[in-house]
């Protein structure tokens, strides 16, 4: 039985994809010339912790919580050593505080054991940390180390299963369907 494919042959698609990606990135830069990370941080560890806290929480709330948190806990060892309940109380208002506290403590223990307490600057090393996935790793790589391995998009901004359009309340119609770019 012969398989039927739609669209261009695979080789043509692989050639076209990089061109479309370049055009999409150029368009993002035109529409969002001052795009930046909304989380407040002064070092990679702070950004890593803030990004873990940002799950199901606004950046504004995370910044309120981390203002005090980053003064109390300055190193990976500090997070590794803090009692679970104490960290839970410190981050309670971010929601899902029990799981987030457990993730932060486990991630910090991994940093101490595997990386001398320093946040690594590679995707492989970051995603090997407890509680760190590709999205969190991309945020840290791009904003703390200026290494761009991917585009970070919240699930409410882009859902490829429902549409090929990028939606954003502040940019309606400015970018349009991804398929129209390239």
Per-position b or e across 139-172, b if 16+ CB within 10 A of its CB: bbbbbbbeeeeeebeeeeebeeeeeeebeeeeee
In the set 40, 59, 78, 135, the catalytic residue is: 135
Nearest by Cα to 133 from 18, 58, 51, 14? 51
In the set 102, 154, 161, 165, the catalytic residue is: 154
The SS3 call for residue 177 is strand
Question: Is 135 designated active site?
Answer: yes
Find the helix or strand (DSSP H, E) in which 26 lies: helix 10-31
End-to-end CA distance of the chain: 34
Paired residues of 177 in beta bridges: 165
Question: Is 154 designated active site?
Answer: yes
**Catalytic annotation, residues:** 135, 154
């Amino acid at each position: 039985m012969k398989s039927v494919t739609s669209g261009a042959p695979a080789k043509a698609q692989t050639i076209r994809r990089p061109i479309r990606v370049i055009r999409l990135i150029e368009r993002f830069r035109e529409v969002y010339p001052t795009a930046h990370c909304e989380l407040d941080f002064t070092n990679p560890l702070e950004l890593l912790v803030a990004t873990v806290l940002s799950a199901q929480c606004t950046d504004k709330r995370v910044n309120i919580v981390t203002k005090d948190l980053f003064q109390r806990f300055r190193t990976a060892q500090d997070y590794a050593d803090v009692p679970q309940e104490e960290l839970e109380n410190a981050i309670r208002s971010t929601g899902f505080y029990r799981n987030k506290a457990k993730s932060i403590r486990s991630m910090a223990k991994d940093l101490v054991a595997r990386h001398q307490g320093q946040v690594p600057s590679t995707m492989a090393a970051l995603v090997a940390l407890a509680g760190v996935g590709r999205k969190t790793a991309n945020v840290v790589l791009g904003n703390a180390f200026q290494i761009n391995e991917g585009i970070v998009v919240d699930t409410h901004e882009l859902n490829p299963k429902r549409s090929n359009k990028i939606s954003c309340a502040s940019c309606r119609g400015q970018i349009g369907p991804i398929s129209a770019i390239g």
